[in-house]
């Protein structure tokens, strides 16, 4: 709802009078003023969405690959990312390492764009989804190397304050941990299942912390601070 009321731009895939009328309806029902409006044909409008989301996914994948390197070389991920992002051409948005991108749009749109480019000259587009798969495999490997008896999965959301866990990277981590015969439990007050993806769901947070030898979370929560020594995360900046 926030995005709908505060858009950065409005792209209308229709150049006729009807398109302008639709744009005015959108502008009328937003809180922001002077919103840039772009009129295109339908195919161009769809492409703008696909390329925008794929670029964001590419940026997430880029910083995750940097983090892979820093983990292996035992370097400070935060110090290096801070230095890289001080370059105004790069900036400090979408730079927080994670277990991989997820959610409603990025996985779907990157795969769609990859399919569109299957017979086109390119190498970057197809590498985005591959990089995301490599990241989840790398994170899984690092968890397995800890040799935990029980891994606790803290929240299934792809980011903080999300209202769903569709295509969340943590789901891929769960699947790959299962393939490595790692015993798990899940804590997520937003789900009502007793068993999810073959994993027992623990309703009590204290009980969850006691049972978990390692707590895996894509994004840190304040309540985890009391068991910080058990937490495995790549959340450096503790933002989305």
Residue 147 phi/psi, 5-degree rounding, is: 55, 50
Do 47 and 40 touch, CB atoms closer than 8 A?
Answer: no
Residue 155 burial (10 A CB sphere; 0-12, 13-18, 19+) = buried
User: Which domains, from first to last, does the chain contain?
Assistant: 1-40 (no CATH), 41-232 (3.40.50.720)
Per-residue pLDDT at 164: 64
Question: What are the mean pLDDT values of the chain's consecutive 10-residue runs (240 residues total)?
Answer: 91 96 94 94 96 97 97 96 97 95 92 94 95 97 98 87 76 97 96 94 97 96 95 91
For 97, half-sphere exposure in the C-beta direction (CA atoms, 13 angstrom radius) is 25
Which tens digit of pLDDT belongs to each residue from 165-197? 778 999 999 999 999 999 999 999 989 999 999
The DSSP element (H or E) to which 68 belongs, if any, is: helix 42-73
Per-residue pLDDT at 83: 97
In the chain, the DSSP E strands lie at 10-12, 37-39, 151-154, 184-187, 195-196, 199-201, 214-216, 231-232
Per-residue pLDDT at 72: 97
Neighbouring CB atoms inside 10 A of 215's CB total: 24
β-strand pairing of 195-196 with 10-12: unpaired
Do 180 and 198 touch, CB atoms closer than 8 A?
Answer: no
Do 188 and 162 touch, CB atoms closer than 8 A?
Answer: no
* Residues known to be catalytic: 105
Q: Which of 195, 198, 190 is nearest to 221 (CA)?
A: 190
């Amino acid at each position: 709802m926030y995005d709908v009321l505060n858009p950065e731009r409005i792209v209308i895939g229709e150049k006729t009078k009807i398109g302008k009328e639709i744009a005015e309806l959108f502008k009328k029902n937003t809180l922001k003023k002077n919103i840039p409006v772009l009129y295109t044909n339908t195919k161009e409008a769809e492409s703008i969405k696909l390329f925008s989301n794929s670029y964001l996914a590419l940026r997430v994948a880029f910083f995750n690959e940097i983090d892979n390197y820093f983990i292996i070389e035992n370097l400070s991920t935060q110090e290096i990312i801070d230095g890289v992002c001080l370059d105004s051409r790069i900036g400090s948005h979408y730079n927080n390492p994670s277990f991989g991108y997820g959610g409603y749009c990025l996985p779907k749109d990157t795969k769609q764009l990859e399919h569109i480019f299957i017979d086109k000259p390119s190498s970057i587009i197809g590498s985005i989804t591959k990089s995301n798969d490599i990241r989840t495999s790398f994170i899984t490997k690092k968890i397995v190397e800890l040799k935990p008896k029980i891994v606790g999965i803290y929240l299934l959301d792809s980011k903080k304050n999300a209202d769903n866990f569709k295509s969340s990277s943590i789901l891929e981590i769960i699947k790959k941990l299962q393939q490595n015969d790692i015993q798990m439990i899940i804590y997520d007050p937003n789900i009502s299942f007793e068993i999810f993806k073959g994993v027992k769901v623990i309703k009590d947070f204290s009980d969850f912390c006691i049972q978990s030898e390692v707590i895996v979370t894509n994004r840190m929560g304040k309540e985890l601070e009391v068991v910080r020594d058990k937490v495995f995360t790549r959340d450096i900046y503790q933002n989305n």
